[in-house]
Structure 1
Amino acid sequence: MMDEDLKFLVALVSFPKFGAQSVSRLLASLGCAEAVWNAPASALAQTGIRQAPIDEFVHFRSRTAPDALLEQHVKDGILMVRVGDDTYPALLKEIHDPPQLLFSRGTLPPKDALLLAVVGSRAGDRYAEEALEHLLPPLVRAGVGIVSGLAMGCDGMAHRTTLAAGGTTHAVLASGLDWNHIGPRHHHAIAREMIGTGGSLLSELPRGTVAHKGHFPSRNRIISGLAKATLVVEGTGDSGTRITARLAMEQNRDVLVVPGSILSPLSALPHALLRQGATPVTCANDILEGLGCESEHVPTKPPPTPQNANEAALLPLLSQGPKQVDLLVRESKLPAALVVQTLTELELRDAVKEIGGATYRLA
């Protein structure tokens, strides 16, 4: 049976003018959600909250029934966990402004879960997809869960790749958890699969809340706050992904980066973060080390064995990272036609893979 204060907390966070910091301030000053809900305007003003939102809150609570709000969430199958509950994610509790109330569909991450946040551009390209297919399956085998935001691009890629590898993944949303507000709609199938395989949809926003651009920075602090480290896959210089990376740094969490092509605008943010001291990753073991795990828990694929002199010239170059054909021609000093022929033969043996733009990497 739920205690009486929960309904008042649901009602309190349902008032849109009180953000996470305001709610925390009110609770710290007045003791509990019921006390905040019933406090006179003068007492609310003494907490340091501005008068305008207080006046709006007084009007809001006069026409809001906390019992009805709580019942709507329960009937819709939405779970609620408070920051003081035993089931509240342990790492999220450590950030300076944790959500006082977390809404969930599915299974909350266990307190001892090892989670990696994966973020990147909504315009994530084939390189991002290839990188995640290269990095995430070994992490899944090592028991790492993936957190992202269910958005288009890199978020969706991270969720799909994790599910395909048999892993558990969680999505933090910038909307309420009623299905008509969960977006994008074409990711509903992914979301339901996540819930059905031990993952969850999470939000600090009550049902009925429509996603708004102002919600995303707050959502991003939860994504990074849930995880021990954040992996940045792609992003332009002004990408919203940079906010998540900054928040992770402020939360004293490691920021890991997938290096990209110097010719791609989507590599601007990863390379800027590398200049700021973020950790480059090229394999799952790099990530496990960033998570504080033993790298030998993830077996690495042995490098392909060259079967002729041409392969012996190209494979060591590709072991340094993805390279374009023209660069391989210059570095190997082999004729261009021979380089292309050798790469084709290696690709047929699943030893290398083209990742777009006449660029190849080891498979």
Structure 2
Amino acid sequence: MRVLIAPDKFAGTLTAVEAAEAIAAGWRRRSPDDELDLAPMADGGPGFVDVLHAALGGDLAAVTVSGPHGAPVPAVVLRVGETAYVESAQAAGLHLVDGDPETASSRGVGELLLAAVDGGARTVVVGLGGTGTNDGGAGVLAALGALSDGVLDGGPSALASVTTVDLGPARERLAGITLVAASDVDSPLTGLFGATKTFGPQKGIGEERIAEVDGWLEAFAVATDRRTSLEKGAGAAGGIGYALLVLGATREPGIDLVTSAVSLAERARRADLVVTGEGSFDFSSRAGKVPYGVAAVASEALRPCIALAGRVLVGSREMRALGIESAYSLVDMVGEERALGAPAEALADLAQRVARTWSR
């Protein structure tokens, strides 16, 4: 039997590569004769560059950029031909925010862009997701040379003083460069479904602060490009999507970009079963997340798709609406303590049990 293993990361415990290897290890214990094809996935968030490097090869260049509160942090630029891939979470990830989220800046993402351009790239693909910043991408614009009567790289709270923004220097700095925003989020920048309302609480912005922070982003949008702030994906990565869009970027769902890069459709057609997974499998998985994207590819190939997840928070009806035949919870099968304490071993054990049902 041929099994395609295509999981996302298990956030906080396993990278996509580690998750795929753990699933394969457990599966082999039960069904050593099955042919396993490992295709770690990403949707633009953490792990985006690692997954693409594994699939495409290329050269990794180590750089140092500004973290959300100004401290230097390490990051990498993946160069494949004239295309560079960078990951916003490496410069502005939630794990890097160690202070007030209202002062967290996305400046380091702009510095990553500059490193890619200075390295000779003609196309730069920016993976969006997993960030702890919520500054509308103002820090990105500042790093690229945008001018303002206020402070652009001081986090969302600094935007209260911004009334004018000159994007000319930033656009000139990227003249001739093709920008691609790889996003798993459809949100606009502001409003009821915008970056602050939807993702602010998970970044540490208190519920009582949502309206004021969203107001700062609204004023920032008025000072730059209000119409673009309403576009799908403008709210991705706390508004870094917006910064890229006003600089002329095109938007491509991160899962579609990775699916193409790893030739997932072709590999699914060669498989008898597709296995995907992520840390928490819930109905938000439909919004450009890896399991939904992998399940869609499996469906087109007329192959069944199952999911292994840290937690499964949807019922069978919702699961099938997402294109998943069955989903298996790590926490339910091995317990939360073991799932978090020894995630690779626990995931391997879960895969071994699942193989009993699905392997021939």
The TM-score range, normalised by the shorter chain, is under 0.3
Q: Which has the larger radius of gyration?
A: 1
TM-score (norm 1): 0.25
Structure with more of its chain in strand, by fraction: 2
TM-score (norm 2): 0.25
Structure number with greater CO (CA < 8 Å, separation at least 6) is 2
